């Protein structure tokens, strides 16, 4: 299964040993403000889903590791939007790593994987309109606003990026 190295990050597959780190992130009310904090049981289910999705599809969520420390600091990757065949970009980072450009770095690598390796025609993203940091990341990676709509029982802004409109940057991207 593919793993990716960027300048500062390693995007690797989840293992069951990631539970404690993921629980710390998924139960944090500030980090999960727009996604709803999860219980231990929900986190375990999410972790199993993160692992299973790669086995069933050629895409999924990576555990994001800070190369400098080896710490797991979040997750980023691709998944299916609600009950649709559309593939969405998603990310959650530990709050002590916010505003350092890390989500943007991981998201750019994820798009590169999605278009080059998974051969997707389009990748979408949604965010709560007040989730300024997330909307900013979506726009920084070149996605285009389409509409306000609802997914997962939340009002969201919906962005798309067709492969033909994607402009890959030349930052470090090594596929393992």
Ligand X SMILES: CC(C)(COP(=O)(O)OP(=O)(O)OC[C@H]1O[C@@H](n2cnc3c(N)ncnc32)[C@H](O)[C@@H]1OP(=O)(O)O)[C@@H](O)C(=O)NCCC(=O)NCCS
Q: Which residues contact 13 (CB under 8 A, 6 or more apart)?
A: 1, 3, 51, 54, 62, 63
Of 91 and 166, nearer to ligand X (C-beta) is 91
Question: Minimum CB separation from ligand X for residue 2, in Å?
Answer: 21
Give the binding site for ligand X (CB under 6 A). 31, 34-35, 91-93, 98-104, 127, 131-134, 136-137
Of 3 and 66, nearer to ligand X (C-beta) is 66
Question: Minimum CB separation from ligand X for residue 92, in Å?
Answer: 4
Question: Minimum CB separation from ligand X for residue 12, in Å?
Answer: 18
Distance CA 54, CA 58 (A): 6
Residue nearest to ligand X (CB): 103
Question: Minimum CB separation from ligand X for residue 82, in Å?
Answer: 13
The Cα-based distances of 80 to 15, 17, 111, 122 in angstroms read 20, 24, 14, 12
């Amino acid at each position: 299964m593919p793993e990716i190295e960027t300048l500062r990050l390693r995007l690797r597959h989840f293992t069951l040993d990631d539970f404690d780190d993921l629980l710390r992130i998924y139960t944090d009310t500030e980090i999960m403000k727009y996604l709803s904090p999860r219980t231990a049981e929900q986190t375990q289910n999410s972790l199993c889903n993160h692992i299973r999705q790669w086995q069933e599809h050629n895409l999924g969520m990576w555990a994001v590791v800070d190369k400098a420390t080896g710490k797991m600091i979040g997750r980023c990757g691709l998944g299916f939007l609600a009950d649709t065949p559309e593939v969405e970009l998603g990310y959650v980072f530990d709050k002590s790593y916010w505003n350092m450009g890390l989500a943007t770095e991981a998201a750019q690598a994820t798009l590169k994987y999605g278009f080059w390796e998974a051969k997707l025609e389009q990748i979408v993203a949604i965010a709560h309109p007040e989730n300024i940091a997330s909307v900013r990341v979506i726009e920084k990676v070149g996605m285009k606003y389409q509409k306000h709509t609802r997914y997962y029982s939340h009002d969201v802004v919906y962005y798309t990026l067709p492969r033909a409109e994607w402009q890959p940057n030349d930052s470090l991207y090594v596929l393992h």
